[in-house]
Amino acid sequence: MTEVLGDFIRALRSADVRVSTSESIDAGRVVGLVGLDDRRTLRDALAQVLAKSEDEKAAFEETFDMFFAFDQFKSRPPAANDDRADAADSAEADGGEGDDGEGEDGAPQQSGSPSAPGSGGMGGEPQGEATPATDLASLLERGDQAELQMALAEGARRAQLNRIRLFTQRGMFTRRIMELMGLDGLNDEIERRERDGNGAGAERLAELREGLRGQVRDYVEKQLEIFTANSGRQLREEVLAKVRLSNIDRSDMRFMRELVRKMAKRLIALHSRRKKVSRRGQLDIRRTIRANIEFDGLMFHTVWKRTKIDRPKVMAICDVSGSVAQVARFLLMFLYSLQEVLPGVRSFAFSGRLGETTDLFDREKLEDALVEVLRDFGGGSTDYGQAFMDFEEIALDDVDHRTTVLILGDARSNYGDPRGDILKKIHARARRVVWLNPEPRTMWNSGDSEMRRLQPYCDKAVTCASLKDLERVVSELLRSAV
């Protein structure tokens, strides 16, 4: 039982539900308490110790249904009884007419083990010869689904099927489980019958063997699905997070959005918990008295009222031309997914002229807004000088000592004057100016890149080409922000 629970928890973990050791122990206690008789109660009860958020609950239900589809738990004994009764019935009713028996027996089987298709024709064989056969052979010929399943589960356990990780292991596990269930004995039996001239018997057994193989394969397939539900996705996520954003395939876009959302969520969780307080310079009388009782009310220690520092204002100026557009898209996606910890984001986009896009993001859904931004501002030839001039006009007055200005661009200004003097003004007013350049550092200053002239007015200039880079930058922003 504990083993099944352990496997289940492992399956949950692979489905992105975080289960700690103490929670596993609780799960064990819960099972001991409510028992296994009532599937719904068990599910309700386990959900409460193992899944602790809305998302996790959904993942839990899915995994639970899939994992216990085989009914390893409760319904086996009654099902076994039914099957046996059925088998006995059909054996009695059979007499000589084997055909009838097969038809009758098909139905209960299917209802008994819905997760084992491909098992048709296994139960209904007439039980003619009483030849002493090997375990597996007699089991197959008796066609007792419940016992077969039990043997299968046992074989799977001994073959350590719960360690399956890759789809290429399917064949290996199928064979190993068959062997552990007594394949060799079965083969011997088939051979023996052939030798004895019982061709029909051998053929039937061989047929049964193939049926069983199909069943085992299905079982392995299912387990693979359970235990590796997410590993493929995890791998893909890992790769995509590191790949250069400009190289990302269109087909991966939807996936990337998910990923950004996930990363943003992690950042929120990380940073929403760090609220520092600072001195305000007012005496907190209540707490001062409290701190000084031990001195008979004499005020030795003073306690000051504290106040929280405001969250920073962020202004993001994004070049949305050509190759930078893709990175800009993800930066904006990040910033707007962080509303919870970065409530005051203002965004500006430019290629030729610059415009504010904050309202657009407030008004529309993230995806629609991004498309609109790229349509309205993207595509022109880049002119940093013009963009900075526009920014000076629109927003320079709002830049103050709490504002962090993020500039995303490759600094390629088509040989126009990038107006470093305006950036200098911004730098003087802002708390920080951070330049994110999607090009690798070696490419800076080559050709029409003006990093050389702009970098002096930035507190920081970093390469930022992949989601990982973006995450790092944003995380740093949040850390120094709060």
> Under the rule (CB under 8 A), what is the footprint of another protein?
18, 20, 22-23, 26, 29-30, 33-38, 40-41, 44-45, 48-49, 51-54, 57, 268-269, 272-273, 275, 286-287, 289-290, 293, 296-297, 340
| Tokens, residue 170 | 């399917």
- Least CB distance to another protein at residue 382 (A): 39
Q: Which is nearer to another protein, 60 or 334 (CB)?
A: 60
d(CA 471, CA 318): 17
Q: Nearest approach, Cβ of 237 to another protein (angstroms)?
A: 21
- 425 Ramachandran zone, left/alpha/beta (phi>0; psi -120 to 50): alpha
Nearer to another protein, 246 or 475 (CB): 475
- Tell me the torsion sign for CA atoms 375, 253, 239, 261: positive
Closest alpha carbon to 239 in 467, 471, 470, 474: 467
| Residue (of 162, 142, 136) closest to 72 by Cα position | 162
| Nearest residue to 141 (alpha-carbon basis) of 133, 152, 150, 149 | 133
Instruction: State the Cα–Cα distance between residues 130 and 141, nearest whole angstrom.
Output: 10
Contact of 385 with 355, CB cutoff 8 Å: no
The DSSP symbol for 19 reads -
Residue 331 CA, distance from chain mean position: 21
Q: Which is nearer to another protein, 20 or 302 (CB)?
A: 20
Residue 116 phi, psi dihedral angles, 5° rounding: -125, 70
Calpha distance 319→316 (Å, rounded): 10
Q: Which of 229, 221, 214, 116 is nearest to 169 (CA)?
A: 221
CB-nearer residue toward another protein: 77 or 132: 77
Q: Is 365 left (phi over 0), alpha (psi -120 to 50) or beta?
A: beta
We find the least distance from the C-beta atom of residue 43 to another protein, in angstroms, to be: 9
Distance CA 272, CA 416 (A): 42
Taking the complex as a whole, how short is the minimal distance between the CB of residue 402 and another protein, in angstroms? 22
Identity of the residue, 30 or 140, whose beta carbon is nearer to another protein in the bound complex: 30
CB of 399 to another protein, least distance (A): 29
CA-CA distance, 293 to 417, in Å (whole number)?
68
Give the residue with the Cβ less far from another protein, 275 or 460: 275
Closer to another protein at the Cβ: 45 or 248? 45
Contact 114, 93 (CB under 8 A): no
Shortest CB 286 distance to another protein, Å: 8
Q: Which is nearer to another protein, 34 or 389 (CB)?
A: 34
**DSSP codes of every residue in 252-319:** GHHHHHHHHHHHHHHHHHHHTT---EEEEEEE-HHHHHHHHGGGTT---S--EEEEEPPPPEEEEEEE
> Nearer to another protein by C-beta: 44 or 65?
44
Shortest approach of another protein to residue 258 CB, angstroms?
Answer: 19
CB of 44: closest distance to another protein in angstroms? 4
158 versus 301: smaller Cβ distance to another protein: 301
Torsion, Cα 27 30 35 41, to 10 degrees, reads: -100
CB 87 within 8 A of CB 144: yes
Nearest CB to another protein, comparing residues 233 and 274: 274
By beta-carbon proximity to another protein, the closer residue of 34 and 394 is 34
Task: List, as one string, the DSSP characters of 57-117.
Answer: HHHHHHHHHHHGGG--SSSHHHHHHHHHHHHHHHHHHHTT-HHHHHHHHHHHHHHH-TT-T
